[in-house]
Each structure stands twice: as structure tokens, then as C-alpha cells.
Amino acid sequence: MRSASSQHVKIEYRWAEGRYDRLPALVANLIRSQASVIFAAGPAAVRIAKSATATIPLVFISGLDPVRFGLVASLNRPNGNATGVYLFTNTLEPKKLALLHELVPKATVIGALVNPTNPNAETVSKGLQSAAGTLGLEIHVLNASTERDIDAAFATLLQQGASALVVGNDPYFTGQRDHLVALAARHALPQSTHSASPPQLAAL
């Protein structure tokens, strides 16, 4: 925890460090501190903050569709206590696969890592599978939400003959970037990934 204060405003920060199971306690702590406004970054942090309070103003930045997941009533009239920035990151996953295919055209069997605890996981998986079909690629989507899962996924993908890897946009994978790069280098597996900030919360 870190606090930054001035004469008029006090900002308190919380980081889940990629561990979504910590978010409910962090949000509850901010609510108990009588925060005037909560800022949430990342799909999981946004959903948990929204479910925890309907009265404290919530400002978010996320790739989570805010209308589909009930964060706001509509994009032009959010109503309720939440408003923010929608990043449309889901549309990037098929583009990452297409770019990987251009860079490594001989790779026809592709692996994909998706974090099943991310609210966008199902949408990302379907988008990758659809894009793979369009490109004439065989894709194996595997779930990973721990370091052990990542190691097991790499072993499975190698058994399945994957010759390239797409890593889904997820704050946990950002925190595991060095581990992912090391595994990809060890197995000579070209990798397409996207950097995202770890799930975090801030309160005024």
C-alpha cells in the first residue's frame, strides 16, 4: 500500500499483483476507508468494484465490454455510479494471431494462452478460434492462471505440435512476462503477446 497526499486530495493505491483472488479484500478495504471515488483498471478489478458498491463513484479503464457486463446502461448514457474508458482490446487478439501468421507463415499449428479467471476469457477464446479458421490454422487454446498452469500449458502445446504461441491480453500474463519469454526462448517458440498493466485500484 502506498499513499500520496496534498493539501486537498489524498490518493490511496492498491495492487493485486495479478492475483484476482485478492481484489475483493482490496476493494472492501477502500470502501471501509470511506473513499470518495474509486478508480479501477482491468476487467476483474472493475467488475469486483462495481459489485461491491452502487453508491461510490467508480471510474474505470478496461477491455471489458461495459454494457454487456452490466457496468453501465449504455456507452453514451452510463447512468449508475460507473463511467470510464472502454479499450476494445478483445478485437486485438485475432489481429495478433494474423500478425503472427504473417511473421511465421510456416507455423500452421498455433497455441494460445488464456486466463480463465478473466471475464473476457470466453470471448477471447472464441475470437481466436474464429480467426484461426479464417486463416486456415489449427489452434489449441489452453487455460493458465498460475505459473504451474503456464508450465503445464507449454508442455501440452509442445506435445500437440504447436510451433508458435499467442498470449491473451491479461494483467496476470504481464506479470509473468519474463517467465513466458524464457519458456518461449527455451523451446524456440515464436510468441505474440500484449502488455497490460496489473489490476489495480485507487481511491480519492
Distance CA 65, CA 121 (A): 12
Grid cell, residue 95, equals 489481429
| Same-domain pairing of 128 and 57 | no
The reply to whether 111 and 169 lie within a common domain is yes
What's the pLDDT score for residue 202? 54
- Indicate if the pLDDT at residue 4 is higher than 80: no
d(CA 121, CA 143): 9
* Whether 76 and 107 share a structural domain: no
Does residue 22 sit in helix, strand or coil?
helix
Q: What is the structure's pLDDT at 112? A: 94
- What span, in angstroms and rounded, lies between the C-alpha atoms of 108 and 70? 38
The CATH number that applies at residue 146 is 3.40.50.2300
What the block records as the C-alpha cell of 3 is 499513499
Bridge partners for 86 per DSSP: 62
If asked whether residues 84 and 98 sit together in one domain, one would say no
Count of domains in the chain?
A: 2
Residues 98 and 174 in one domain: yes
150: closest CA among 123, 121, 125, 175? 175
pLDDT higher than threshold 60 for residue 198: no
In the predicted model, is pLDDT for residue 199 greater than 60? Answer: no
The pLDDT score that the predictor gives to residue 66 is 84
State the pLDDT at residue 188. 85
Tell me the mean pLDDT in the region 151-160: 93
Between 96 and 3, whose confidence is greater?
96
What pTM did the predictor assign? 0.63
Mean pLDDT of 6-28: 82
Same domain for 151 and 122: yes
Residues 78 and 102 occupy one common structural domain: no
Least confident of 2-6, 65-69, 141-145, 155-159: 2-6
Q: Are residues 102 and 167 in the same domain?
A: yes
Same domain, 82 and 105: no
20-78 residue pLDDT tens: 888 999 999 999 988 999 999 888 888 899 999 999 999 998 777 788 888 888 888 88
| The residue count for the chain | 204
Tell whether 78 and 110 lie within a shared domain: no
Q: In this structure, are 70 and 152 located in the same domain?
A: no
Task: Give the tens place of pLDDT for each residue, 78-97.
Answer: 888 999 888 776 677 888 89
Percent of the chain with pLDDT over 70: 90
Residue 64: domain span: 2-88+199-203
